[in-house]
Structure 1
Amino acid sequence: MVTVDADAISQVLGAVDLRVGVGRRMSLASGTLLPIPTGAITLVYIVEGGVHGHPPLGDGCRLDVDRDSHRLMVDPSSRRDVLVAGDAFLTLGRTPFALEAQGDTSLMIAEIVLADAASPLPALLPPFLTVTGFDDIEPAAAALALNMGLVDHTVLPARQGDPVICRMMATTVLLSVIRAWAANGCAPAGWPSLSNDPFLDRVVDAIHEEPGRDWTVERLAAIGAMSRSTFAERFRNAVGRSPADYVTEVRVDAAKRMLEAGRSVSEISRELGYASDEGFSRAFRRRTGLTPTSWRMANRIPVSA
């Protein structure tokens, strides 16, 4: 079994920020086919009944729980196609895919849109991520999944804040699925490395440890023991963006966590190495579409006294 360091899991989960994540409940009659959108991340929780995939979900790590002993069992090579009540799976939408109901079935489905299109999360996950027995492994998140879904406004009027609360619920369920998969032996060796290159991994770790440092390409190349030109090319090929763009991404992710903790814009700006609050706000807005203050207000986060 491959074990993943808890700090590495926390680093990945802490960087996830959803722009859209509102779930919906769907009831399917036996034999009904439900196409899953391509080009989008989709989270599915089976509430009742069961489903199997077209094409089959295929080989992949299977997490299961013995319902009598509650003992977790991991089979890294098992084939798992039929999913039943209490199971969850995540698809990145890389290929056309559909679910077929096995008997009368109820599903919670959330289409996930990451707030940052350049997020590394899709590159860190397999095309399909399955957690069987999710309700036993992550009971609190499963309880949220049971109660997610758009309310029929003809029956019960929408309340203020519903979209924000639904997004937070979807975020919690998504992170719990990823945690169950990663923490229980299904992540590949070296996960969550973006590059599978120990020299580049050393650079990425340094950026995450000190996001506010003055990270020039020359300084990063020195940490990776490479020339400037070699480093820049290898970094872009492995990570999919320039070193400067990646540093900005890490800083903005750190800024969001600081905003959530109630830190002031001026404090965050100084800690993350920006010469002025205005420069920090411009960088934040380019990445998120909102100023730090607007982002805080949109997420209903109070400022610490």
Structure 2
Amino acid sequence: MVTVDPDALSHVLDAVELRVGVARRIPLAAGGLLPIPAGPTTLVYLASGSVQGHPPLGDGCRLGVDPDSRRLTLETRERRDHLVAGDAFLTLGRTAFVLEADRDTTLMVVDLEFADATSPLPALLPPFLTVTGFDALEPAAAALAENMGLVDPAASPARQGDPVICRMMAKTVLMSVIRAWAANGCAPAGWPSLSNDPFLDRVVDAIHQEPGRDWTVERLAAIGAMSRSTFAERFRVAVGRSPADYVTEVRIDAAKRLLDAGRSVSDVSRELGYASDEGFSRAFRRRTGMTPSSWRSAARTPALV
């Protein structure tokens, strides 16, 4: 069984920030079809019944229960064309597919949008992330998932705070799906390395731990035990952007979370190492299309979904 470093898993879960998490509860009669389009990130939990995917939904981790200890054990990694009640899967929207109900089925479907469009999290996950026996692995999250979403949203009036609460519930279920997938041997060897290079992983971890530090290329290269030129080239090839660009992305991602939590623009600017509020505002607007103050105001104003 592949094991995952708990600290590395914590970093991944800490990176889960959703801008939108809208849940729908969808009943399907036997033979009913539910198209899942390419593009959006979608989380599905089977509350009852069973479905098959067209095309098949990829490899799943099959779980067994020891009859004496009642502890869960990973038995095999096998192709699963059918998913049953208690299973969950996440699709990052790289391909379209259709779910077909084998019998009367109830699905909880959550449309997700990450708060940071440049978040590395999607790059760390496979196109389909399937967890069979999710209800046994994560019973609290499965119970939460089973009770999310309205059968007929149009018939139920929106209440104050609904978008915020729904997003928090969706985040909890999503984090639990990722944890169940990773912590029980489903993740590939080396996961969740962004670069598959332990020296570069050390650099990435340092940036995330202290986004406000004055990160020069020389300082980052020293952490990675490389020369400046070697480090810059290896980082660009492995991560897909320059070290400076990655530092900026991490800072803006951190800024979004701090602004969402109600921190002032000046406080966030200072904490993230910007020399002035104006410089921070320019960098934030280039990445998001909004000023930090506009982002903060939007986060404090619930919107109808």
Superposition TM-score tier, normalisation by shorter sequence: 0.7 to 0.9
Paired residues of 2:260 and 2:300 also in contact (CA < 8 A) = no
Percent identity between the aligned chains?
80
Give, in angstroms, the shift of residue 68 of structure 1. Answer: 9.2
* Distance verdict in 2 for CA 1:169–1:68, change over 3 Å: farther
User: Aligned residue for 1:200?
Assistant: 200
Where 2:79 maps in the other structure, the secondary structure is coil
CA distance in 2, matches of 1:139, 1:295: 35
Distance 1:203 1:154 in 2: 49
- Give, in angstroms, the shift of residue 219 of structure 1: 2.4
1:65 Cα deviation after fit:
5.0
Distance of 1:138 and 1:2 partners within structure 2: 19
Instruction: Identify the residue that residue 249 of structure 1 maps to in structure 2.
Output: 249
1:281-292 alignment runs, 5 A limit? 281-292=281-292
Q: Is the 8 A contact 1:76 1:186 kept in 2?
A: no
In 1: Cα distance, 2:154 partner to 2:261 partner = 38
Cα distance in 2 between the residues matched to 1:10 and 1:64: 26
1:164 match: 164
Does the Cα contact within 8 Å between 1:2 and 1:186 map onto a contact in 2? yes
Closer, same or farther in 2 for the Cα pair 1:289/1:55, shift >3 Å?
same
Whole-angstrom distance in 2 between the partners of 1:9 and 1:144: 22
Aligned to 1:51: 51
Query: In 1, Cα distance between the equivalents of 2:261 and 2:158?
Result: 29
Partners of 1:48 and 1:194 lie apart in 2 by 36
2:82 corresponds to: 82
Q: 2:62 touches 2:133 (CA, 8 Å); kept in 1? A: no
1:153, distance to aligned residue in structure 2 (A): 4.9
User: How many Å apart are 1:46 and its aligned residue?
Assistant: 0.3
- Name the structure 2 match of 1:148: 148
Aligned to 2:19: 19
Mapping of residues 275-286 of structure 1, within 5 Å: 275-286=275-286
Counterparts in 2 of 1:62-101, with a 5 A limit?
62-63=62-63, 70-75=70-75, 77-101=77-101
CA contact (8 A) 2:60 2:132 kept: no
Aligned to 1:273: 273
Residue by residue, what CA displacement relative to the aligned partner does 1:215-241 show, whole Å, maximum 9, x if unpaired?
A: 122322333343434333322221122
Are 1:15 and 1:253, in contact at CA under 8 Å, matched by a contact in 2? no
CA distance in 1, matches of 2:36, 2:64: 24
Q: Aligned pair in 2 of structure 1 residues 171, 241: CA closer, same or farther (>3 Å)?
A: same
CA gap 1:210/1:260 in 2 versus in 1, 3 angstroms: same
TM score, norm. by length of structure 2: 0.87
**1:108 Cα deviation from its structure 2 partner:** 0.8
Residue 108 of structure 2 corresponds to residue 108 of structure 1: yes
Aligned to 2:238: 238
Indicate conservation of the 8 Å contact 2:58/2:130, yes or no.
no
Give the alignment's Cα RMSD to 1 decimal.
Answer: 2.6
Q: Distance in 2 between matches of 1:66 and 1:155?
A: 45
How far off is 1:293 after superposition? 4.6
Measure the CA separation in 1 of the matches of 2:272 and 2:221.
Answer: 20
- Following TM superposition, by how much is the alpha carbon of 1:3 offset from its aligned partner in structure 2, in angstroms? 2.1
Give SS of 1:232's match.
Answer: helix
The number of equivalent residue pairs is 301
- The 2-side partners of 1:299 and 1:105 are apart by 36
Aligned equivalent of 1:177: 177
Q: 1:128 to 1:201 in 2, by over 3 A?
A: same
> Does the 8 A contact of 1:62 with 1:79 survive in 2?
no
Query: 1:3-18 counterparts in 2 under 5 A?
Result: 3-18=3-18
Distance 2:242 2:75 in 1: 38
Cα 1:254–1:270, aligned 2, differ >3 Å: closer, same or farther? same
Contact 2:86-2:133 within 8 A present in 1 as well: yes
The residue matched to 2:51 in structure 1 has which SS? strand
If the length of structure 1 is used for normalisation, what is the TM-score? 0.87
Q: Residues 57, 243 of structure 1: CA spacing in aligned structure 2 closer, same or farther, 3 A cutoff?
A: same
CA contact (8 A) 1:36 1:97 kept: yes
In 2: Cα distance, 1:129 partner to 1:102 partner: 21
Displacement of 1:283 in angstroms is 2.9
**Cα separation, 2, equivalents of 1:80 and 1:276:** 54
Shift of 1:168: 1.8
2:2 equivalent in structure 1? 2
Task: Give 1:117's aligned residue.
Answer: 117
The aligned amino acid for 2:86 is G
Preserved CA contact (<8 Å) 2:74 2:184: yes
